[in-house]
Amino acid sequence: MLSLSSINFDVVKKRSLIADFIFILLLLSFLYIISHYAKQATSHINYEANINLSIGSLIKYSLFSLSRALIAFGFSFVFTIFYGYFMYKNKTAEKLLLPILDILQSIPVLGFLPAVVLALIALFPNSNTGLELASIIMIFTGQVWNMVFGFYGTLNSIPQEFNEVASIYKLNWWQKFKWIEFPTTISSLIWNSMMSMAGGWFFLMVCEEFSLGNKNFRLEGLGSYMSTAANAGNYTAMLYGILAMIIIIVVLDQFVWQPLVAWSEKFKIEYSLTSKPKESWFLNLLIDSNILEFVRNSYKKTSMWFEEKFKYLKTNTKKEKNRKIKKNLVAKFFANLILIAIVIFIIYTSYKIIFMIKNLPSITWYTIFKSDAYTLIRVLITILIGSLWTIPLGIYLGLSPKLSKILQPIIQITASFPAPMLFPALIGLFYILKINLSYGSVILMLMGTQWYILFNVIAGALSIPSEMIEMGKIFKLSLWERFSSIYFKAIFPYLVTGWITAAGGAWNASIVAEYVTFKNQTLTTTGIGALISQAANSGQIPLLAASVLTMALTVVFFNKLVWKNLYKISQNYKVR
C-alpha cells in the first residue's frame, strides 16, 4: 500500500515546475509563430514571392507552412463536427449532403483554384491576405473530406445499446453528443485527423506555388521552397527541405498526435483489464502541470456554477417540454433554410458551368472521357494494391500495443510526409528502369492514398474489445477463423470508409501523379488529372470545368453503385 511518507514531494514539485515551464514555453512559441505568420499574411500584396534557398529562410518558410496547415486543420475540424453530425441527425439532409460530400471530395485542389483565388484577391486587393486564405482553403480541401467521412461513418457504427441507454436516461441532444456520440468517435477522428494532415501536406507544393493562365502565384513556404529547389536542380536544398518536413512531422507526432492517441484510450469500448493502454511522455508531463490543473478546476467550477444557476429552468417540466418543442421547430426551420440555400447554390453553379462548357467541341469531350477512364483504372489498381498490405498490417498493429508503439511513429512520419517532394527522385528512378509514367503514376498515386486505408484499419482494430480477442484464443480459433469471424467484421465499417477516402485521395493525387514538373521539364500521361493540371496552368477555364465535372460525376456514380452498397453492408458489422 502506498503511504504519504513514501512519496517524494520534492520530485513531484520539480516535475510540476518542469511541466509548467514547458507548457509556457510551448504556448509562447505558438503565439510567436501565429503572430509572425499574421504579420506575413497581412503584408503588402506580393503575387510571386522570391524564394531564398538558404537554411535561415527555410526555417521561416517551414513555420509559415505549419501555420497554414494548422489553421486549415482548425477549419476542417469545425466543419467535420457540424457537417458530419448534421448528416447523422437529419436523414432528409443526409440524402442531399452525402452526394454533395462525394462531389466535393472528388474535386481536386486545382478545381477550386480559379474561383477561390480570383474571389479572395478581389476581396483583399492590397494585401497578401487573399492569397494566404486561398492557400489555406486549398489545404483545407486536401484535409477535410477524409475527416467528415470518418466521423460520419463512426457515428453510424455506434452500438444500438448506447442509443437505448440515452433514451432510458432521457438525455438531451447535447448530453447524448457529449457522453455517447463524440467519445465513441474520438479514436477514429484522431486517426483520420493524422491522415488528413498528411493529405494537406501532400498538396503543399501545389497550394503554395501555382499558375492560373499566364499569371504565376507563389507564397513563402516549405512547398514553394521545394518547388524552387526542384526546378533549379538544387539537390542540397531539396535535402534540407525534406529534413525540415521530417522535423515538423516528428514534432507534431510527439507533441500532438501521440498525446491525443494516448488520451483517446479512455474512450475505448472495453470490458477487459488485460490490455495495456498506450502512453505518451508529453501527456504524462502535461498531467503534472499546475497551470493546466488550475484551468481544469476552473472549468469544472464554472460548469457547476452554471448548472446550479440555471437549474430552476428545468424544474417546470411542462415549460421545459414546450421550450424543447419550440427549440426543435426553430432548429428544423434553420436546417431547412440551409438546405434550400444549398440547393439554390447548386442550381446556380450548375447553370454557370453548363453555360461555360456548352461550346466545347466533341473531340475535346472524347479526350476528357478517355482520360477519365484511364484514371479510373489507375484509381482501382491503387486501392487494390494498397488494400493487400494495409489490411493485415493495420489489424496486426491495432492488436499489438508493443509493435504499435515501435512502428506507429515511423508510419505516421512516412504517411505524413508529402510524397510529391520525392517525385523528382522517383521520376529519375523511372527513367533509369525505363518505367512509363502511365504505369509509374500508379506508384505515385499509391504513395499518397494507401495510408487512408491503413489508418482506418488501425482505428477499426483498436475498437475491437479485448474479450472478443480473448474469446478467439479460448476457442482456439485458427488465424484465418479469427480474421474472418472477428477481425474483418469488426474493421469492415472502417475499411469501407478507408476505401472511399482512398479513392477520393487517388483521384485528387492524379493531378500531381499524371503531370510532373522537374528541372522546368513537364512529364505527362493520359489521364483526367493531367488534363486538369494542363487546363489550370494554361488558363483554359471551360476545359478545366468540363474535366472537373466529368471527374466528379464519375466519382458520384461509382460511389452510388459500389461504395454505397458496401457501406450499407458494413452497418451490419458493428462491434457489440
Q: Which CATH number, 1.10.630.10, 1.10.1200.10, 3.50.50.60, 1.10.3720.10, labels domain 54-279+359-570?
A: 1.10.3720.10
The tens-digit pLDDT sequence of the chain (576 residues) is 444 444 444 555 566 778 788 888 888 888 888 888 888 888 888 888 889 999 989 999 999 999 999 999 999 999 999 999 988 988 777 878 887 887 787 777 767 766 777 788 888 888 888 889 988 988 998 889 889 988 998 888 888 888 888 888 888 888 888 888 888 889 888 888 887 888 788 778 778 887 776 778 889 999 899 888 888 878 899 889 989 988 998 888 888 888 888 888 877 765 444 556 677 888 888 887 788 788 878 877 787 777 666 555 554 555 555 666 666 666 677 767 777 887 787 788 777 778 888 888 999 999 999 999 999 999 999 999 999 999 999 998 888 877 777 787 777 777 777 777 777 778 778 878 888 888 889 998 898 788 889 988 988 888 777 777 777 778 878 888 888 788 888 888 889 888 988 888 888 888 888 988 766 677 889 999 999 888 887 878 889 889 988 988 898 888 888 887 887 787 776 555
What residue has cell string 509563430?
33
CA atoms of 46 and 128, how far apart (whole Å): 7
The structure's pTM equals 0.77
CA atoms of 419 and 426, how far apart (whole Å): 10
Write out the E strands in 488-529: 515-518, 521-524
H or E stretch including 271?
none
3-class SS string, 133-193? HHHHHHHHHHHHHHHHHHHHHHHHCCCHHHHHHHHHCCCCHHHHHHHHHHHHHHHHHHHHH
Q: Are 413 and 194 in contact (CB under 8 A)?
A: no
Q: Which three cell numbers stand for residue 345?
A: 447554390
CA atoms of 92 and 84, how far apart (whole Å): 14
**What are the boundaries of each domain within the chain?**
54-279+359-570
Q: Are 461 and 490 in contact (CB under 8 A)?
A: yes
User: What b-and-e string marks burial along 353-370, b requiring 16 or more CB atoms within 10 Å of the CB?
Assistant: eeebbeebeeebeebbee
